[in-house]
Structures are given as structure tokens and as C-alpha cells.
Structure 1
């Protein structure tokens, strides 16, 4: 059971997470169908380069408490926790064992938060909790005050998810890291040209930097880009896992004028930004 100073109490449900959503909701989180598509696409390794880069960025912080705002299926959080655990083991002096240095269980604690109860349930049961980590789930709205105490997180990760700058600043410890991933303007450009994916806001990065300027300092920007050769099933999963699923039919539903569908070149491009929390 979770409780606050005002007397509110919330029970952890049978699926292993707590929901702190109260009242009516105008926004709806990812559906199980979208999460299925995301699992299908991501587990094929198409975004592995992004997960590796994010994991390396977070591991360099040696965090104890990580919060994933917009956890989805838990794909990126799993990568982050694996990287932090590996970094702890690699830091051992030569000839010493992990047990002798107390790093068999590095003590990294993670909170997976999303508006979608289906997403949080999937993340919690996806094998995040093991001998080396402790991961809890929370259903909450990022646009509302976050049910997380002041300075509770060493690192916040935010991958293709909404942001609440004031609340991010409050829940991060002084000097904490905010790692944000946004799509690069060239992301899915072939699918957007074909009308199968929604447009990317061209000034998204600058808007992000300006929105965080009052409480964060930008430390680094890393661009990652690849051209993938995707099968029709891959393209269908890619479109179905994100906001484009609400705007376009799956590509496989439309016959190809030149015959059976074959592989398609698709640009995937991301921008990974690291912000340092400023102020007390």
C-alpha cells in the first residue's frame, strides 16, 4: 500500500503496480495492440543502437534511482538497467569478485511510469526485477503533479514521451540527469512521404531546449541515424506501435501496384539529449 501525508492510500494490484490516476481522463495511453506492435518491432533489434547509446549515457552516472517517464513496453529501461549493472561489475579492481565488492546486487532501483496501465503491467512483468534490480510500476499522468517525492531520482529517462519540465526538475535530485530522446526531422521520412506516418515537428529540439532552460543545462546532443531494410511485417509493426497508427492504415492492407510487397528502405533517426538539473 502507498500512502501520503494527506491520508490518500493506494493499493498495489495483482499485476504488480499501483495506479494513481483519479477522476476522468482526457488522454488515453497506448493500447495493448500498440504495445504488441512495439514489442514485435523493438525485439527484432531495429532500435538497438538507440538503446545502447541511452544505456551508456545513464550508466556513466552510476545511478541508484532511475525513473522512466513513459515506459512503454520497458524496452529502453531494460537496456538502461543492464548497462548500469554491467558498468558496476566492470568497475571492479582486477582479481576481485563481484560478491567481495558488493556489486552482485548493485542496488539500482527503477520506477516505470506510464499513462497506460497495459504498458506499466507489461514493463513490470517483462523480467525487469531480478537479483540485481528492483523495478516498480506506476500509472500516472505526466501532465499532472507526479506522485514522486522531491529529489527522489538520480536519473530520469524520457523516450518519445510527453514532458513536464517543472515536475521533472522537482523529482530529480540536485545535479541529476534528464535523458530525453526525440525523433530527428528525418525520422521515417520515406513513410511520411508515402502518407503512412505523421509528420515530425521540424523545430522540436529547439522547443525542447527552450522549455527546459529554466531548470536544466544542456550537456550533450547525440544524433543516431540508420537506413533499415524492413519487410512489410516490420513496416506494419513500426506504424502500428506509435501515433501513426491512429492516422494511417497498415501498409500491408494496400496492394502494391507492381506486385507483392518487398522490403522497404526506411530511415530511423533519433536525437539523444542529456540535460543536467540546475539549482538546489
Structure 2
């Protein structure tokens, strides 16, 4: 496919689903203009980039996550280390949405990063439910979204701030929020009646061995998942949860990528980082809680 054909394909995808969007500046509805821009009735214009995403975050500032970090995450995600989590997440969502070939399922990954999880979710749900999946990924990071768009042209990708979300009310059947901050007020606004929020938070043993190797007794735990669950339940009172924990042997070739993809290494002693990279093998614990609940409009 030529570059022009690729852009036309992306513009067609955007045109078919332009009703999902609203202007992040004024909140007005959006339309496709000139086959490569989103425009609202007030004249605010947002171009479709050559890489296949739309930047819907006015006055954005450079983030602390760079393209090397997202390249590392893409390598780790593509190497299967998160498959145990994703399989459980797929099952949770599929349990609540049956096959309806005539009705596409709209899915937003809020905090999509480099897009691997949403791309896997789109493919899995289409195969399992035998229905089209309208996949939308949003993240604050331009390098992450650019990587995502290059990897999957079948999804809609945008740089966006969930505090000023560029989507219409009741637009999504499913919102996923994987190891990323939440905005529950926006999630409730964006979910259709009967829609589901599925949030993944780290469990107390997540990357335990990495923390202990780098920081020893000073290793800090992530936020208490019980507090996160309590906050989730305030907004989704029918909350359910499932713990997913497994151990795996990390390929030595992936140690550096694992370090790059997580902020854990940012303040680690250099000597400990060097010692870690010299390991011939390294066993790692992956520990998560999946929290989910449905939203019903009264």
C-alpha cells in the first residue's frame, strides 16, 4: 500500500467514526475536513498525522516518556510477558458482551501507551465475539501514540488528555485502563448505558524481584490496591475483581528493555543496574488486580 493509499484508508476509518469525537477546546461536534483533518463548527482544526494519529491536545507540553521507553515496552509486550494478564482481561470483557455481528463493539483504551494491549484486545474480541470492534487508543504521550499508530492502522489513535476528553457522551461500550491513572468522572460520561470499565492495577508483588534487586530493603511498594479498589467502587458500586499472579523467567536479552520500560530504574544505583544487566537469568513476578464494573444511566 502506498503512502497516499494508507492515508486515504485512515481518513476513511476516521470518517466512519467521526461521531465519536467532540472538540477538546469548545466541546462541539467534529467533522472530517479535507480528508485528513477533524474540524468543529467553531473552526478548531486537528490534522491527521502522516503516521496515522490525531493530536487532540492543544498546548501540549513534552512528556517525560520518550520513544526509547515505548520501544522497550513494545518489545516486552510483544514477547508475551503480559499474556497471562491479557488473557484474563479478555475473558472478563467477553463474559459481558456476546456475539452481535450487526452491532460493533466500541472500545477505548485510556492510557494506551504504545498500543500493544489495545491491538491484542481488538483482535481477540473480533475473533471470539464474531463482531467488529471499533478500537480507540488515547494517551498523553505523542511518542507512545505515534508508535501505536504505526503498529495498527485498524484502530483510531489520538494524543489526548482524559481531563478534557475529546469524545462524545456515551460513546463506548468498554473502557480499559491498564496500569494508568484514572478519571472516573470522564469514564462514566463516556460509557454507554450498560458499558463496562475494566481497570488493571499492580498487585503487591508486581516486579518484586526487580524492586528488591535494585533497592534492597528500601524498595517501595506501589499504592495499596485495596485503596484503589475502594475508590473504584465509589463510582462503580457493582465492582468485581480478579487477581492475576504468575512468575516467568525473563530472557536476558530483555532485561535492559524491562529496565527501560519502567520508572523503577530511574533512581536506582548505577552499580545495581550494571549487576542486573549482567545476570544470565532472572525470574520475575507479575501480579495484578483486574477491577471491573458496569455503568447504568438512570
- TM-score by length of structure 2 reads 0.77
Runs of 5+ unmatched residues, structure 2: 1-36, 99-103
Q: Aligned match of 1:58 in 85, 93, 101? A: 93
Bigger Cα displacement from structure 2, 115-124 vs 245-254? 245-254
Q: Is the 8 A contact 1:209 1:218 kept in 2?
A: no
Determine if the alignment matches structure 1 residue 39 to structure 2 residue 60.
no
Q: Is the 8 A contact 1:69 1:112 kept in 2?
A: yes
Cα deviation, residue 155, structure 1 = 0.3
CA distance in 1, matches of 2:175, 2:89: 11
Q: Is the 8 A contact 1:239 1:250 kept in 2?
A: no
CA distance in 2, matches of 1:11, 1:233: 39
Q: Is the 8 A contact 2:232 2:239 kept in 1?
A: no
Counterpart in the other structure of 1:274: 292
Number of aligned residue pairs:
254
Determine if the alignment matches structure 1 residue 248 to structure 2 residue 273.
no
Cα deviation, residue 214, structure 1 = 4.2
Determine if the alignment matches structure 1 residue 113 to structure 2 residue 138.
yes
Distance 1:80 1:247, change over 3 A: same
Q: Is the 8 A contact 1:235 1:251 kept in 2?
A: no
CA distance in 1, matches of 2:149, 2:252: 30
Q: CA RMSD in A?
A: 2.5
CA distance in 1, matches of 2:60, 2:149: 25
CA distance in 1, matches of 2:109, 2:153: 12
Counterpart in the other structure of 2:150: 125
Cα deviation, residue 160, structure 1 = 0.6
Cα deviation, residue 249, structure 1 = 6.3
Counterpart in the other structure of 2:167: 148
Q: Aligned match of 1:200 in 197, 221, 224? A: 221
Q: Secondary structure at the match of 2:239?
A: strand
Q: Secondary structure at the match of 2:181?
A: coil
Q: Is the 8 A contact 2:233 2:239 kept in 1?
A: no
Q: Is the 8 A contact 2:67 2:143 kept in 1?
A: yes
Cα deviation, residue 251, structure 1 = 7.9
CA distance in 2, matches of 1:118, 1:213: 33
Determine if the alignment matches structure 1 residue 77 to structure 2 residue 118.
yes
Q: Is the 8 A contact 1:182 1:270 kept in 2?
A: yes
Cα deviation, residue 219, structure 1 = 3.4
Q: Aligned match of 1:230 in 250, 256, 260? A: 250
Counterpart in the other structure of 1:9: 45
If asked which structure has higher relative contact order (CA below 8 Å, sep 6+), I would say: 1
Determine if the alignment matches structure 1 residue 178 to structure 2 residue 192.
no
Counterpart in the other structure of 1:166: 185
Q: Secondary structure at the match of 1:195?
A: helix
CA distance in 2, matches of 1:55, 1:250: 38
Q: Is the 8 A contact 2:214 2:272 kept in 1?
A: no
Quick check: which one's helix share is greater? 2
CA distance in 2, matches of 1:136, 1:251: 42
